[in-house]
Structure 1
Amino acid sequence: MSWDEQQLQQRLDTMAEQIGQWMTGREPLLVGIESGGAWVAEALNQRLPSALPMGTLNPSFYRDDFDTRGLKPATRPSKLPFDVDGRHILLVDDVLMTGRTIRASMNELFDFGRPASITLAILFDIGHRQLPIRADICGETLALPPHQRVELRGPAPLVAEIREIRPEE
């Protein structure tokens, strides 16, 4: 199964509507998790009535499997060009699976300050939770078997497909 640019645009439009409602009375900051979450955050930001201040997080150093997984060759540093203390954060990622990337991202975010709140927006929620983390705003929920995952490619155009996980991954 795959999603073309138009299908993803429809999901992003729906998510942007939900974010617009959530934003009422708040002045949030938008934070995308590298790299797919940053692409989704940018696409969402373009759909909002007024663009939000945006930053990116790369939680690679905060992962609990860092010692066995290591770093990807193209690891980029986090960029939060604003103060997060007391602010409402809209944290965005492309796929929510185990919850470990979100946990690592929140750990890193708290190194930058103490937000008033963190709201999680996810393009695809595929389950397989290992931690009690859930999306507040979700583009699509899928029930995939453990040997499959959703892979997002971008940044433009955004396309997604389900792929098989090889045992060594």
Structure 2
Amino acid sequence: MQVPKEKTQLMDADAVRRALTRIAHEILERNKGTENLVLLGIRTRGYPLAQRLAAKIHEIEGQEIPVSHLDITPYRDDRGEPAGTAPRELTGLSFSLKGKRVVLVDDVLYTGRTVRAAMDAVMDLGRARSIQLAVLIDRGHRELPIRPDFVGKNVPTSHREEVAVKLKETDGEDRVVLLEP
């Protein structure tokens, strides 16, 4: 198996910070503030991004909003097992989603299958008022009719290329790189 090599850097730490600041402002504008707003970060890198967005929203509005992680493993359609109900421990959810404006947060949007699984999980966890999607990178190539509401950067890619998001919390640095075989 060939190890992908770095083709180019798409975002440095400052670009990641600026993109998250802009997304936080866009979330607040679209939702007219923080009332009934919650962030759910899709594991692994969506959760630290959701935490950062919540911190930015707190800086801007002075309001804390609930944040949790979402493990969509039981909902994936590539596992060969029937989808099931997500146990609450997979989400760390200590609040209800009923009537909430849920913003799903992920690092890269590609085929849309991860987001579809996350939406299924949210539906099993409660009747949210709405579900929105924030991603740091949208690389295209959708297989499902899913479109993000908030995007840090659109990056046209080939199917052969990969986008690697590296975050301080998981990788020790903030940067986004394009990899090729």
Contact between 1:83 and 1:113, CA under 8 Å: does it hold in 2? yes
Distance 1:18 1:120 in 2: 12
Contact between 1:126 and 1:149, CA under 8 Å: does it hold in 2? no
What residue is the counterpart of 1:19 in the other structure? 27
What residue is the counterpart of 1:79 in the other structure? 92
- One-letter code of the match for 1:9? R
Deviation of 1:157 after TM superposition, in Å, equals 3.8
What residue is the counterpart of 1:158 in the other structure? 174
Q: Does 1:36 align with 2:49?
A: no
Matches within 5 A, 1:1-169: 1-2=8-9, 3-24=11-32, 26-48=35-57, 49=61, 50-67=63-80, 77-154=90-167, 155=169, 157-164=173-180
What residue is the counterpart of 2:85 in the other structure? none
Contact between 1:59 and 1:108, CA under 8 Å: does it hold in 2? yes
Contact between 2:99 and 2:127, CA under 8 Å: does it hold in 1? yes
- One-letter code of the match for 2:122? L
Q: CA RMSD in A?
A: 1.7
Contact between 1:31 and 1:41, CA under 8 Å: does it hold in 2? yes
Query: May I ask how many residue pairs the two structures share in their alignment?
Result: 158
- One-letter code of the match for 2:79? F
TM-score (normalised: structure 2): 0.81
The SS at the match of 2:177 is strand
Deviation of 1:161 after TM superposition, in Å, equals 1.1
Give unpaired runs (5+ residues) of structure 1.
69-75
- One-letter code of the match for 1:18? E
- One-letter code of the match for 2:70? L
Give unpaired runs (5+ residues) of structure 2.
1-7, 82-88
Distance 1:35 1:54 in 2: 14
The SS at the match of 1:67 is coil
Identity between Structure 1 and Structure 2 (%): 34
